[in-house]
Amino acid sequence: MTFKKCLSIVLVLLLVLPGCASAGSKPGEGRTKELTDMIGRPVSIQTPVERVVALTAADCEIISALGCEDALVGRGEYCDYPASVQEIPTVQSGYDTNIEQIIALSPQVVVMGSMAQGEEQAQALSQAGIATVFTDAQSIEGVYQAITLLGNVLGRQEQAQELIGEMRRTFGEIQDKVAGKNKESTIYFEVSPLEYGLWTAGQDTFMDEIAVMLGLENTFSDLKGWGEISQEQVIARNPDYIVTVTMYFGEGPRPEEEIAAREGWQNIPAVEQGNIIHVSSDEITRPGPRLAEAATLLYQRIYE
């Protein structure tokens, strides 16, 4: 094979195997893209976007699922999935977001969460010439919106719609399996353990939507959003299933055992029948693509 022919093959491969920044490129890219983020802020972004800092774990997962992990130059300290992102430099996020650390990474765009960051941080980054995009996914539809937004930011619109389609198919399959089972049972999501104060998911949350998808009634569906509750309320509502997301580090009683041993909880149907389900907190608490995996796991634990 001649040198010219080898060179031609290499050039073809470079064209057909683009990285994230150039994947799905269309006429007009390389210019300013005007977007509206999930809290209604107009955002101007210079494309293609090749350097991104994602401050929330869910957004980091979405960006990776879109095939754009190579665009991440920084991540919030809780961004740990997929495992490969742990090689990416971390920045202090949350309410004490470290603006200097972010600026030092020279990103074009910083993806922020509306519950952790605010306009003050966005303004500081804007003064440094860095665009900011806020996500705000509280429901499954909100997750779809976040995926669509980040797909647009990264020029991965087609991949975003494919990812949404995969999630819709999984949820649809679960609903089809559940249809006609008439379980008529209730479920309680414990998103914060007793030692830190009990918190649960109410209506307008993706956990509540998953409960409905599974043909179950969320015991706290009268609560709006995420809220603090008492032991007495849980006991009075008598759930048939309890889902705990408490992390277990291999020492002491497992989360299921701790719940079963609580005073006054012994007569709750979920405790009596051993229907306490421990699931990975990351899969079911992060508004990202793995919610479909969490729903599948709960279906298997409840129905199979």
**Domain with 251 in it:** 180-303
CATH number of the domain residue 148 falls in: 3.40.50.1980
User: Which of 164, 197, 218 marks a domain boundary?
Assistant: 164
Per-residue model confidence (pLDDT) at position 1:
45
* 138 and 53 fall within a common domain: yes
Model confidence pLDDT, tens digit, residues 158-193: 999 999 999 999 999 999 999 978 678 999 999 999
**Does residue 100 lie in a domain region?**
yes
The answer to whether 152 and 234 have CB atoms below 8 angstroms apart is no
Q: To which residue do tokens 């941080």 refer?
A: 121
Is the C-alpha dihedral spanning 285, 290, 291, 296 positive or negative?
negative
Residues 157 and 129 in one domain: yes
| C-beta separation of 66 from 150 below 8 A | yes
81 shares a domain with 198: no
One domain, residues 201 and 295: yes
Q: Residue 48, preceding bond cis, omega within 30 degrees?
A: yes
| Domain annotation covers residue 139 | yes
Identify which of 19, 301, 253 has the alpha carbon closest to the alpha carbon of residue 159.
Answer: 19
Q: CA 41, CA 37: separation in Å to the nearest integer?
A: 5
Say yes or no: 136 and 48 in one domain.
yes
Q: Say if 107 falls within a structural domain.
A: yes
Which residues in the chain land under pLDDT 50? Answer: 1-19, 22-28
Query: How many domains are contained in the chain?
Result: 2
User: Is residue 157 domain-shared with residue 191, that is, in the same domain?
Assistant: no
Residue 136: Cβ-neighbour burial (10 angstroms; 0-12, 13-18, 19+): middle
Q: Do 200 and 255 belong to one domain?
A: yes
Q: Does a structural domain hold residue 171?
A: no
Q: So what's the pLDDT on residue 21?
A: 55
Indicate whether 11 belongs to any domain: no
Contact predicate 198/192, CB 8 Å: yes
SS3 of 197, please? coil
Residues 190 and 234 occupy one common structural domain: yes
Specify if 50 maps to a domain.
yes
Domain end: 98, 131, 164, which one? 164
Domain boundary among 135, 164, 193: 164
Q: What is the pLDDT of residue 217?
A: 96
Is the domain of 131 the same as that of 191?
no
64 within domain boundaries: yes
Are 40 and 143 members of one domain?
A: yes
Q: Minimal CA–CA distance to 285: which of 258, 257, 247?
A: 247
Classify residue 262: in a domain, yes or no.
yes
Residues 33 and 67 in one domain: yes
The verdict on 153 and 197 lying in the same domain is: no
